[in-house]
Structure 1
């Protein structure tokens, strides 16, 4: 028997409209913040899951991996021919496949941002106003050539072949470099990666700062999440803009005070346990024979690619 006191919308499994007129309520800043925090947590879990897999790069010692991939980034910076960069990028894709990195998210992380930011910077170079060359596409005709001080304006605005190739080479270079850097971070534990920076003579205080930042940033994110959840659970109705501003300013001050107090407690605890300024982590292993062989293979591949680029010329 159906209870007459239960609303019809609850029996049907549908929710009533959140606003008059049936319009869906737009999420506020608190909902957006919680959603972004959950996204950050998901990204961290995804990275940790990739590091734990058995793969070609995961099995390579962190210092050998860092130096080898930095060498490949240098090769990408020295390469001048598009075919060379495309070949190198195909090698990066092969490395990602051998390391069991999902290609979909990997490609999305790189090519959703590289064309946007790098393309905006190199966009003017495809026009003959910046880089004269053979016209590919005539955009408009000007009344005639003009001289404005040191600048010479031609009688037509065109997209040049040299400009398009130069912009494409730069975008490919950035894409390869970002992909290699992303492979390092996706296949290496953060503590091991920071320890590997000592090979490059990075100052100890810088490595220590990065280590503690990575260790405690998630604790602070958890505190922020708890603050927003507590506010949401006590909130009735939709808050106005002024109330949101007061909450944000108060939360920022509270978080800063708690972070400062936590830093003092952590530092005192480290001193009590004999901290002398050097970062020490568990599992500090030395490179073995397979690590040297894999690093040498990557170095040899880089030399071959540079030789091919010199042979192709420009």
Structure 2
């Protein structure tokens, strides 16, 4: 007997679930007649008939007196679907509000204090009630998470704010939901580790920041995973070794910096491994330089004080 009751209960619950009206479906009364959900309560003023939005300010006014409106109002589409519903004080949103698509499904929901966003703000995809964007405000200032979703409800980006600027962990994703960028901000500036990935989940770029400036190691990679660049930075200035590599993994160039100036031996190679250029710097000043062709033959030689490059006679 208990099993029969459970089965009946399941079917009743299932039938109620599937019987729920979709947001774009018309409302039907007990007799089966379609009716409009607009202006069914006397507490709402008809925006279309009695009110207007002042150009430039968006303040809601009485059409007759051109004075700011205070109270509750509704606007309706020509298909009798609810367009919007809100509370106003002196012509400005002051309380919860909702704006719909022409389908009758929610487009955005929020709360404002005298025209200033406060609390949760939501945007939706049409005909689904699935949230597209979620934000949090404190008296007009964005604080906390801002999340962007796809039509399946999956997260496409996650940002954190404090006092209207990026602060904390940030993440964005490709349409296939593979991580694209992961970073950290401190009061609006990149701070800490920044990583960027390919559509195929390969690491492409890795940088360390300190208050918006390069600090520490910076790495860039080819699509095959081999390293392309390796750099050393200190608070936004070049400090240490700078290396670049061919896609094969062989070194392409070597440089060294001290306090953002060239210092010591520099070398650049052709892809066949032959030296292309050699140079020596001291405190950013070129001391000597030699260039070679792809066969290793010296073609240019320059030393400090030379007025012209010495070219090798063929």
Shorter-chain TM-score: what band? Answer: under 0.3
- Bigger RCO (CA 8 Å, 6+ sep): 1
Higher-helix-fraction structure: 1
TM-score, normalisation: structure 1: 0.22
